[in-house]
Amino acid sequence: MIRELGRPGDLGWVVKAHGEMYAAEYGWDTDFEALVARIVADYANDHDPARENAWIAETDGRRMGCVFCVDGRDDGTAVLRILLVDPAARGHGIGRQLVDTCLEFARKAGYHRMRLWTNDPLQAARHIYLSRGFRLTGQEPHHSFGADLIGQTYELALR
């Protein structure tokens, strides 16, 4: 089930799950968890419900994934943020459902384009993005979260 974020514990779960899963899977440090905490705090403190939303995927009442759609603050662009699917729930289409929910919302909200930033080790997410029509528009090596990474920007025209 995909539902809108908003129940007590949702915000904290998003931060905790990202911190724990990315540390376990990629060895990323708490700088990544801090980045997610800032994204979540900014959303919680100052989002426009007509232009921004977030969703939680649940299986048997347990949070298993999330995605956020926020205003890019420029030129009709929405930004897909912090997509996550718990390893125990992968392979069941939850990531695709979350991305599709985000895209549908962005189109209905009147955005013309969606952008996202990710990093090269996140192959499953990249596969979802490419299957939905996103195209790579830029990449740059960086050292973040305790790792050498290649940051990648993807965009999709929504109209």
Read off the amino acid at residue 116. L
- Residue 67 in domain: yes
Predicted confidence at residue 52, as pLDDT, reads 97
* pTM of the model as a whole: 0.95
Which residues are 139's β-sheet partners?
152
Structural domain containing residue 102: 2-112
User: Is the predicted pLDDT of residue 145 greater than 90, yes or no?
Assistant: yes
For residue 112, which of 64, 74, 55 has the smallest C-alpha distance? 74
The CATH number given to whatever domain includes residue 89 is: 3.40.630.30
pLDDT in tens, 11-65: 999 999 999 999 999 999 999 999 999 999 999 999 999 999 999 999 999 999 9
How many independent structural domains does the chain possess? 1
Q: Distances from the Cα of 119 to the Cαs of 23, 61, 73, 147, in angstroms?
A: 14, 30, 22, 11
**Per-chain mean pLDDT for the chain:** 96
User: Is the predicted pLDDT of residue 102 greater than 90, yes or no?
Assistant: yes
Predicted confidence at residue 84, as pLDDT, reads 97
